[in-house]
Amino acid sequence: MHFLKVKRVALFVLIAVFMTGTSTLPKAAAKPSSLYTNAKASALFDVESGRILYSNNGDTAMGIASLTKIMTAIVAIEHGKLTDMVKTSKRAVGKEGSSIYLQLGEEMSLSNMLYGLMLRSGNDAATAIAEHVGGSEEGFVHLMNEKAAFIGLTHSKFQNPHGLDQAEHYSSANDLARLTAYALKNEVFAEIVSTKVKKVPNPHEKWEYSYTNKNKMLTMYDGADGVKTGYTKKTLRCLVSSATRQGQQLAAVTINDSDDWADHRKMLDWGFNNYPLQEIAAKGQAIAGYPYIIGRTFKYPVAEQETESIQSRLVLLNTDSIHYLLGERGMLEWYMNNDKMGASPVYDQASSRLQLPETSRKTLQTLTDFRKAEKLNQDGDSAWYQSFSKVLDMLFEI
């Protein structure tokens, strides 16, 4: 097996022996400069690639308080219908800790309840959401652990949807990094956690509920766009924050950190300064010497001293494989110091696969429901929403 080195986005390709494989999250390279936090565990990662840029005690299983609600939110978005009305049970109303003060029997759209969950960290909202989407809190917890296994979280176990201290309820900084990278790619989740203030209809009074986001990073850090705070007397302060600058989104995780706001600013600055996101290969780019083109743009955060160690390998499919019959011809894999960074599919130059939308139908339907829920909260459908729905309907037909 041979490899060729590339500088920046220059592309050199060799056909390797026939093989297939799945992408794994690359290990963080040597740090370009020192980074220190006050947290017992921490991680910094690039959202698009999932690369962990910095980790300290990253695989140590710990209590995570309301960072749990990141999993609660993404499971609810993926399994629930955002326009559904969620009825508040006695169990939800009686939940201790932070609350949005739901009343027994009160109904609120799943969309709005998710705002209460993520902006105000309502434990009552978490319980009501779990009972509605999962049939019961226990059923929802099963969905949470299924999702954890799907994402590949190896140091996590969920016992409830709110994060109150409970035996055998835990995660790790690295697992939270992987979970958050997954969740932020969902446009509904990303919009909710980036919201600073949300007005919600109040069925009991003439005035609206107003949910102000507890995440102070949204106002104290340039480009901040998420994600979630957490605290219990046992776990102490926990925080996941994200920010986007020059098209790159980074997120930081700290668990049990006495100075988390300052540490997150420092971590994000360090990441943006040392690991800029670079385009390694572009969709539609021809592969010199072969009748193939790259089917998906591949970007990766690369420190300056790492560019010489990037390598590529073209892996071709057997002609009688299912993926080959569906139009794929192989994968262009990328490595750094023999650790796999990721891969892009390759197609014939005239392949119709290049015209397919990269957003799944399920994601588009979820976005439709989310916009509909938002518009229903503003006295019905507007012409804007009807136009938006027509565009999505056209996409579904592709």
Catalytically annotated residues:
66, 69, 121
Q: Which helix (H) or strand (E) holds 220?
A: helix 217-220
Contact (Cβ atoms closer than 8 angstroms) between residue 208 and residue 215: no
Distance, CA of 65 to CA of 60 (rounded, Å): 15
Residue that the structure tokens 């021809």 belong to: 286
Whole-angstrom distance, CA of residue 57 vs CA of residue 60: 6
Give kind and range of the element (H or E) at residue 262: helix 260-274
Q: Which residue type is seen at 283?
A: K
Neighbours of 141 (CB within 10 A): 21
For every residue of 57-111, DSSP letters joined together read STT--B--GGGHHHHHHHHHHHHS-TTSEEEPPHHHHT--SS---PPTT-EEEHH
Q: Give the sheet arrangement for strand 224-232, strand by strand.
A: 52-56, 41-46, 248-255, 236-245, 224-232
How far apart CA 35 and CA 262 sit, in angstroms, is 13
Pair 214, 229: CB distance under 8 Å = yes
3-state secondary structure of 144: helix
Q: How far is CA 246 from the centre of its chain?
A: 19
Beta strands 298-301 and 310-316: pairing type? Answer: unpaired
Contact 212, 196 (CB under 8 A): yes
